[in-house]
Structure 1
Amino acid sequence: MNASEQLDHTVRGIPPGVDIPDRAVATQRWAPADGSMALPVLTMDMEAFASNAKAFLEFAADEGVDLAPHAKTPMIPEIAASLVERGAWGATVANTQQLAVILGGGIRNIIFASPPGGAIGCAHLAKTLSLYPGSNVYVFLDSFETVNALCSALKQNPGTTAYGLIEVGFGRTGARTLERCLEIRDAIRETGGAIRLGGIATYEAAAITATESSAATFARLFRLVADAYASVVAETRSDEPVIISAGGSVYFDEVIHALKPLVVERRESKLVLRSGALFFSDDGLYQRAFSAMAERGLATPIARAVRPTLSLWAEVISVPEDRLAIAGFGMRDAPNDQGLPIVRRVLRDGKAVEIDPSLLPQVDKLNDQHAFLVGRSVGRLKVGDIIELGISHPCTALQRWRVVFGLGKDGRVERVFRTQFG
């Protein structure tokens, strides 16, 4: 058996002395809430994830749009594959390592949502594509230099091709003007089929600034997307597929409203959303984003249906002062780039401690391995209490863990998910 399929002391959450295969985890009947697992540990509510997936896939089908969820959020190939099995068009990646992992997971429609760079990046990308014949990989391209580098690299791997997406964007990568888009389009057409003209891509959230309203920014961005899309359609046969790809997990409603009308009139065109963090949600960044989306009214039902799936479990290890408690987790375990973890509940001897939800302790700061808890109810905490926390930003939560434990309805571990961030 491959060592990576064993659960032992090298994995956070595993009790001392245990050495079992992943597939045997359900037989252990572990539950983070009752102290049977070593803490801290990160878990995923599998029922909540399945509910989120069902709701969003049904929403996309009703709206007539396709999904290629961004795999960088969990980097768990079986999760990406499960979404495709449930109806997603494909998956999205951001670099060559992610591409290799997801192609290795059996997915064949993939959006490479970043310019691959010059000769070095394109050489590795082309080599990866050559290892998976029959795959359809759509690559962001925002300069003729990258088009030329990718074309050269593909020709070094005979029979290997890619689809080129002209990336339009403000604030990060992407062509800023229609003239630049036309340059890229023409460069793609001149590759002689090594790169096929696949459509347009953008990432709307990167365009937002503090000096302009999001409405004004989106109006400018989507106008450029529309013009660039028209230029691609003008150079493409009516039976050739053309996609527009956009939509993170925060503004996909705005994307559908603005860009869906562009594709409905052409049978071979489709709008592909890349929303990935949505399937996991959280108690901070995305909870706020979905509340704002519900207020906008463009996708209120799905915004209200999605719920958090990830929980971080830790133990209170010290109460050194009346108004301070220390929990045994820190920046090695929890994200802090989009807000600190949020205490959901406190458990003692396997039972919830009754505390008014509005008075639950708050995480004030994190060290590497310690969390500082403050608030009016901190005095009620005792050493040995277990706290369940929600996180803010699932992407940077999951990347800290190579093993995430899937919980069933009874709160006990049913399966193991291994992340592959490299």
Structure 2
Amino acid sequence: MTVADLSLDKGQPETGKRLLQDVSLPAAVLHEAPLAHNLAWMQAFCAAHGASLAPHGKTTMAPALFQRQLAAGAWAITLATAPQCRAAFAHGARRLLMANQLVGQANMAIAAGLIEAGAELYVLVDSAANVRQLDAFFGARGLRLPVLVELGVPGGRCGCRDRGEVMALAEAVAQAQALELAGLEGYEGVVRAEGDDDPAAAVAAYAGTLVATLEALDAAGRLPVARPLVTASGSAWHDLIAEAFRDAGLDERVHRVMRPGCYLTHDHGLYAEAQARLLARRHDIGAGLRPALEVFAQVQSLPEPGLAIVAMGRRDVGGDRPPLALRRYREGGTARATLAVDGWRVEKLMDQHAFVALPAASDDVAVGDVVAFGISHPCLTFDKWRRLCRVDQDLAVLETLATCF
């Protein structure tokens, strides 16, 4: 046996293994059927609304999933940082949208290297100071950098706070020798309704402001590119953004780009609730997205009545909400032989342990039982794993997916 055979890197399932018998648990698991459904569903949704899809890759940072998204028709991959862009490019993504400001010379050097290697890269700007920094750096390298002005909201994250700031920044970009204004970007996930106002109305209003600001830039002659971009959309309000882009009467030369990331795996928490609101708004959508990401772990101890300790903790699953017990199996069993988890409730997560409260009737629970847990917010679970299992309906491992966080 070699040192490589003794690697401590958690979760190294191989194709052909059986999840309930051969795989070291806990393991992050992607179910192929809902994954394939979600991949096709969002691509079709964007196309039906006249928009391109540039899925946010920071959700998964899984190159194999990037390739599936691109093969399904994605226009680009969105990333959040320069190293993420470098990782995506190294694995075949040639058009990259960095939905963030590019700050710091080390990060600028990564971006410049990508452009020199053939990447088509877009970054955001929201200040004249950053415009000057980028102009100096990329000008010295003899490169031209496409930028998108970010339109934010008061009290939100980054971004110009109003149209006046956007127009002033567009003027600064126009004066820069190494930059080219390629369009306008926004993110509706930071929009908050005032008082008792409807958050959906606030998001729709922001989308309208984004479109009107793009039109103002165009009218002022500040969009020199042949096809300027307008882009927004996280994973919670994609219907409102798509509708705003579709119904705004934009010139066909305007390229509308959607950037959801969590749609690919969906979840049993935050985005399940967001989809319930979407389905209430849009009765024509159908069943929508399906949860594809789960964490499988084993009952480790039954130390007292009404309590199970499961070998899964904050190092294995995102903790913004407690994971949900979905199904239970005997170790070595089959996918169809499920046991009850009714009334199971995760009450506390430690680093590598989950405290699960059991109902009084749980007299068939055994040490070693395998429990499938639903997660909330995929980003916060993906980044715990360097490898995930993609499984079929029989819980046979089809592929080991690597991440590059």
TM-score by length of 2: 0.91
Q: Does 1:381 align with 2:370?
A: no
Deviation at 1:223, TM superposition (A): 4.0
Q: Does 1:86 align with 2:69?
A: no
Q: Does 1:323 align with 2:321?
A: no
Structure 2 counterpart of 1:70, one-letter code: H
Q: Write the deviation string for residues 32-59 of structure 1: whole angstroms up to 9, x where unpaired.
A: 22x3211111111122211111121122
Structure 1 counterpart of 2:288, one-letter code: A
Q: Write the deviation string for residues 141-162 of structure 1: whole angstroms up to 9, x where unpaired.
A: 111111111111111222x222
Q: Is the 8 A contact 1:325 1:373 kept in 2?
A: yes
Q: Distance in 1 between matches of 2:211 and 2:128?
A: 20
Aligned to 1:112: 98
Aligned ranges 1:248-263 → 2 under 5 Å:
248-262=234-248
Q: Is the 8 A contact 1:139 1:163 kept in 2?
A: yes
Q: Does 1:32 align with 2:19?
A: yes
Structure 2 counterpart of 1:218, from 203, 208, 213: 203
Deviation at 1:416, TM superposition (A): 1.2
Aligned to 1:21: none
Aligned ranges 1:3-402 → 2 under 5 Å:
9-14=7-12, 25-26=14-15, 29-33=16-20, 35-117=21-103, 119-120=104-105, 123-133=108-118, 135-158=119-142, 160-170=143-153, 171-192=156-177, 194-208=178-192, 211=195, 212-234=197-219, 235=221, 240-262=226-248, 264-297=249-282, 300-301=285-286, 304-337=287-320, 339-349=321-331, 350=333, 352-355=337-340, 359-376=342-359, 377-402=361-386
Report the CA distance shift for 1:256/1:246 in structure 2 as closer, same or farther (over 3 A): same
Deviation at 1:215, TM superposition (A): 3.9
TM-score by length of 1: 0.88
Deviation at 1:64, TM superposition (A): 1.2
Q: Distance in 2 between matches of 1:128 and 1:379?
A: 61
Q: Is the 8 A contact 1:7 1:14 kept in 2?
A: no
Deviation at 1:325, TM superposition (A): 0.7
Q: Is the 8 A contact 2:325 2:345 kept in 1?
A: yes
Deviation at 1:396, TM superposition (A): 0.8
Q: Is the 8 A contact 1:112 1:137 kept in 2?
A: yes
Deviation at 1:101, TM superposition (A): 0.9
In structure 1, the residue corresponding to 2:93 is in which secondary structure?
Answer: coil
Q: Is the 8 A contact 1:324 1:378 kept in 2?
A: no
Q: Write the deviation string for residues 18-41 of structure 1: whole angstroms up to 9, x where unpaired.
A: xxxxxxx32xx32222x3211111
Deviation at 1:190, TM superposition (A): 1.0
Q: Is the 8 A contact 1:172 1:207 kept in 2?
A: no
Q: Is the 8 A contact 1:169 1:203 kept in 2?
A: yes
Q: Distance in 1 between matches of 2:203 and 2:357?
A: 40
Q: Distance in 2 between matches of 1:237 and 1:288?
A: 38
In structure 2, the residue corresponding to 1:113 is in which secondary structure?
Answer: strand
In structure 2, the residue corresponding to 1:305 is in which secondary structure?
Answer: coil
Q: How many correspondences in the alignment?
A: 395
Q: Is the 8 A contact 1:130 1:157 kept in 2?
A: no
Report the CA distance shift for 1:122/1:181 in structure 2 as closer, same or farther (over 3 A): farther
In structure 2, the residue corresponding to 1:140 is in which secondary structure?
Answer: strand
Q: Is the 8 A contact 1:122 1:153 kept in 2?
A: no
Q: Distance in 1 between matches of 2:354 and 2:61?
A: 26
Q: Distance in 2 between matches of 1:143 and 1:121?
A: 19
Aligned to 1:18: none
Pick which of 102-111 and 59-68 moved more.
102-111
Q: Write the deviation string for residues 184-242 of structure 1: whole angstroms up to 9, x where unpaired.
A: 111111113x2111111100011225745314532552343133201321215787111
4+ residue runs over 4 A deviation: 236-239
Report the CA distance shift for 1:378/1:335 in structure 2 as closer, same or farther (over 3 A): farther
Q: Distance in 1 between matches of 2:93 and 2:251?
A: 26
Report the CA distance shift for 1:237/1:307 in structure 2 as closer, same or farther (over 3 A): closer
Q: Distance in 2 between matches of 1:154 and 1:299?
A: 47
Q: Which has the higher contact order (CA 8 A, sep 6+)?
A: 2
Structure 1 counterpart of 2:279, one-letter code: A
Q: Which structure 2 residue ranges, 5 or more long, are not aligned?
A: none
Deviation at 1:311, TM superposition (A): 1.8
Deviation at 1:125, TM superposition (A): 4.6
In structure 2, the residue corresponding to 1:72 is in which secondary structure?
Answer: helix
> CA RMSD of the aligned region, Å?
2.2
Identity fraction in percent:
27
In structure 1, the residue corresponding to 2:296 is in which secondary structure?
Answer: strand
Q: Distance in 1 between matches of 2:182 and 2:12?
A: 46
Q: Distance in 1 between matches of 2:300 and 2:339?
A: 20
